Structure 1
């Protein structure tokens, strides 16, 4: 295991700048390393170039020159988004140079414990739940990784008894060698990012690296109903803490008779918890287990679960609109996410979906669409989604060009106690730069309807 002193006077290349690359470069410089940053975009004359100059860090931008991987190079810290078929990465791997992501660095320099969370779906919700449970219980904790601040920046300021609650992706985990969380959570594994990983096997292997370096005094929290997750967890030396929404285990966290338990002790009922759906029960169970293991108070855990309205743009309850419950799930950029969103509700659902056409059909969505009473489809995929909706037996369907129009029509399909749900099943890029921008546009359209309906009622 490396320690901070190992980096002193080592020659290190930070490949890819962005937020995490800048943080890694500064951290390494503080540890006494000779740091070069390489960024594909031309940053000549930029604010970033000036900042790196002030830190006495060399910047090479406008491409990836292969001469950077020479015989004097000791280590590469790679932006997670840079693929392994990048020529610099390929040469480094051939030379057997360590190529790691920034979370590896965070683990080396941090004084506190890392509590790491990953999974194909649900990791942001679970990470946030754990962090809030620990915070409200007075456990010194920090939010890091894909949400919160860059992990190595957070790690620099942790103390021995601190907990760094860190969301990690398969991209980050693939670039680890000695990464050693004291508690790891693996929620689920579905097909995702297979283009980056080159296939399902590498994706599973990368997710499983969250358990790789754990010891018997560590805790591996895993979904006992996912056979791939279970297999990966059992390859670890850690103490195993399973969770199950169908009560298939009583060793860890589980649901029985619509009550969430941890090791036989009742925590909260399904009805009391704010988050809807089986997938959120999985997230809550994992969060309960992780929070209790790190000293959270059960009464504070209950309060968090009762008050939690979700992550912004991820099945986020945004309020009631004349008796209709409105949910913003703009982050649902694929079919699987929209399936889970629809299936989270027992009340009738009026669905808004659509967006960028990536060439796929929506046949996999048809079984879930049978729970939808009416739908408005918009954007590039409106015709394909209409076909799926008709195949599912939806009789009330409207097509529009824009999301704003879609929200207007969707509202008038709803009745009191219905759910008005934006869950697009598509990327946002036909009309919006990001899913966040799309979610904000949805909320604006809902506010406009509030004013329109209020005006109609008063007139």
Structure 2
């Protein structure tokens, strides 16, 4: 009997353990941290052996295959040991895909991937397809494959998950954009991170499709030097495409082989140029899996957007409060600042992943009247914007940040939480940060 060891007892780990058990593996789950009570119960229900708070090497190094959670870096000594012994270390995406014949739409990118994933899922579901949404979002993909294998999957896939694939091959791959992010995990080399994103297409052949932003110079240059086998479907806000999607006089035009679809940007429920791109990517993916044009047009008008992504929370004294906690890198914050038309009180900071704030400078000069730093170490933010912004305040809790924002904002302003950083210094995750933001506003 093959032995499957799962490192990390979170959503993806437990899902993989369930699928592994179902497929006849001897399964062991090991988490260096604390496994949540709800997950312990699930593991016990399926009679899966687990340990929490430690890694017992003797029980791990005898594995045939190891699934490691995306949060564990490749350079951890235990992972290095496994690799040096020739034991295959893979991600959940790789493991689960072996056990399904479903059509897979895989979506990656530095920003926009959650919106594009949720919108694509929304279009396919409204189109009557038996579709599941998983990956970096929501429920475990492996658990879905074990419990109710769908005909189609829309997967949001991070670069860390792509690092752990060998044979994973989506029918439709989407790269929304590539900007520097998580460089701490890629030896601070941008090209390592780019290569990681492009792994989504590495096993594709000429019967598969790659949808990508052709306005993104990083993607364009990489494709010139590293051509892929799949059929290319570029999308652009700037120029007409032979195949793919483009913008013409306020109309989005989609063309895939012999199918064409046109729709006015007026029907989009989401604001901002980046959401025109997300809509193009999702629309192309929906056409490829044969969702009807009318359905696509109609469903785009009912899409509600993603929690913690430019989410309007409340208006108090004619000041609007916007929760963009999901903006964990500079490029995501760029979109937020670009899209807001009012003077901005900007709440930013957290765990800096090697950020370069210079691309925000023109927007900050033009639109931001005050910066409220919210993080344990705000040195880089102060260094970047200290000379440009008259008012910078350091805070160390969400309640404090909101009280300051309330004091300094005036009628017609926007208070924007768009941190450009990870959240782990003061919060559990970006959801917790966004929820605390919403709670603090309700207390005003």
TM-score range, shorter chain: 0.7 to 0.9
CA pair 384-131 structure 1, distance change in 2 beyond 3 A? same
CA pair 227-96 structure 1, distance change in 2 beyond 3 A? farther
Helix, strand or coil for the counterpart of 2:191?
helix
Partner of 1:311: 306
User: Deviation above 6 Å: which 4+ runs of structure 1?
Assistant: 381-384
Q: Does the aligned pair in 1 maintain the 2:422–2:430 contact within 8 Å?
A: yes
**Does residue 1:413 correspond to 2:406, yes or no?**
no
**Does residue 1:99 correspond to 2:89, yes or no?**
yes
CA pair 421-297 structure 1, distance change in 2 beyond 3 A? farther
Displacement of 1:39 after TM fit? Answer: 2.0
CA pair 318-256 structure 1, distance change in 2 beyond 3 A? farther
Deviations along 1:165-203, whole A, 9 cap, x unmatched?
110111111001110111110111111122223333332
After superposition, where does 1:140-289 map in structure 2 within 5 Å? 140-158=130-148, 162-198=151-187, 199-230=189-220, 231-232=222-223, 235-263=227-255, 265=260, 267-289=262-284
Deviations along 1:304-347, whole A, 9 cap, x unmatched?
433434211111234655666543212223333222211123x2
CA pair 390-258 structure 1, distance change in 2 beyond 3 A? farther
Please identify the structure whose Cα radius of gyration is greater: 1
Q: Does the aligned pair in 1 maintain the 2:372–2:405 contact within 8 Å?
A: no
Q: Alignment partner for residue 374 of structure 1, among 369, 388, 402? A: 369
Distance in 1 between residues matched to 2:309 and 2:328, nearest whole Å: 10
For structure 1, the residue ranges without an aligned partner over 5 or more in a row are 1-8, 450-459
Partner of 2:54: 63
Displacement of 1:116 after TM fit? Answer: 0.7
CA pair 189-362 structure 1, distance change in 2 beyond 3 A? closer
After superposition, where does 1:279-428 map in structure 2 within 5 Å? 279-318=274-313, 326-345=321-340, 347-356=341-350, 358=352, 362-372=357-367, 374-380=369-375, 391-392=387-388, 397=391, 399=393, 401=395, 402-409=400-407, 412-415=409-412, 419-428=414-423
How many residue pairs were aligned?
A: 432
Larger CA deviation: 83-92 vs 179-188: 83-92
Distance in 1 between residues matched to 2:410 and 2:9, nearest whole Å: 47
Displacement of 1:50 after TM fit? Answer: 6.2
Distance in 1 between residues matched to 2:87 and 2:56, nearest whole Å: 17
Distance in 2 between residues matched to 1:319 and 1:228, nearest whole Å: 37
Helix, strand or coil for the counterpart of 2:284?
helix
Distance in 2 between residues matched to 1:288 and 1:19, nearest whole Å: 29
CA pair 446-268 structure 1, distance change in 2 beyond 3 A? farther
Partner of 2:27: 35
**Does residue 1:126 correspond to 2:124, yes or no?**
no
Distance in 2 between residues matched to 1:182 and 1:122, nearest whole Å: 20
For structure 2, the residue ranges without an aligned partner over 5 or more in a row are none
Distance in 1 between residues matched to 2:54 and 2:393, nearest whole Å: 44
Distance in 2 between residues matched to 1:10 and 1:275, nearest whole Å: 48
CA pair 225-47 structure 1, distance change in 2 beyond 3 A? closer
> Taking structure 1 as the reference length, what is the TM-score of the superposition?
0.83
Displacement of 1:286 after TM fit? Answer: 0.7
Distance in 1 between residues matched to 2:112 and 2:37, nearest whole Å: 37
Q: Does the aligned pair in 2 maintain the 1:334–1:425 contact within 8 Å?
A: yes
Q: Does the aligned pair in 2 maintain the 1:348–1:371 contact within 8 Å?
A: no
Partner of 2:430: 435
Helix, strand or coil for the counterpart of 1:209?
helix
Displacement of 1:12 after TM fit? Answer: 1.9
CA pair 323-265 structure 1, distance change in 2 beyond 3 A? farther
